[in-house]
Amino acid sequence: MTNEQQAGGSDEAVGGMQGPDGPLLKLFRNRAFAFLVVGGINTGIGFVWFIAFSMLFRHLAPGAAWTVFVVIACAQVTSTISAFFLYRHLVFRVRGHFWLDFFRFQLVYLGSFLLNMLVVPPLKLWLGWDEIVAQFVFTFVIAVISWFGHSQFSFRRSGKESSS
């Protein structure tokens, strides 16, 4: 058994990813835990974006029901861009295929974005929840989707890709 396996890590990269470990993997030696750390940071960043856009649109269009859709879209764009760079450099640390990785990454978040648009607005508009509370509750669903999507799809490398 290697030192990495004893420390809770694995010789196998998640989803067939190859390349040097990101800085957090050198610190924690466990990709899932590093993903959770970055996910927590990114969730905080994304939630701050959501609150900022929510406050902005409450000021620009007070009481307008449509703003929840715009808030979700604006927060989605800003938070997924920052998340891509955080995951790509701190956790998965893959090389090459920047635009392919970015496209795959956005596809993973497209699924959670569509679910977000189906869940959060009805919670606000039909059940009277505050949109920030509704988004906070839905954030846990996004976290689960993102782990499986990014580890198995966004940054996945086949054996042929990793050797080039």
Residue, of 34 and 157, whose pLDDT is higher: 34
Residue, of 106 and 3, whose pLDDT is higher: 106
Residue, of 161 and 28, whose pLDDT is higher: 28
Six-digit token string for 128: 């009277």
Q: How far is CA 39 from CA 57, 59, 98, 138, in A?
A: 26, 30, 20, 14
In the predicted structure, residue 129 carries a pLDDT above the cut 70: yes
With bands split at pLDDT 50, 70 and 90, how would you rate the model's confidence at 49? very high
- % residues pLDDT > 70 (the chain): 78
What is the rounded distance in angstroms from the CA atom of residue 159 to the CA atom of residue 164? 9
The b-or-e profile of 117-134 (16+ CB within 10 A means b, else e) is eebbbebbeeeebebeeb
Orientation angle between helical segments 131-149 and 67-86, nearest 10 degrees = 40
Average pLDDT for the chain:
79
What is the rounded distance in angstroms from the CA atom of residue 24 to the CA atom of residue 114? 30
Q: What is the mean pLDDT of residues 72-76?
A: 94
Parse the chain into domains and list their residue ranges. 18-157
In the predicted structure, residue 159 carries a pLDDT above the cut 70: no
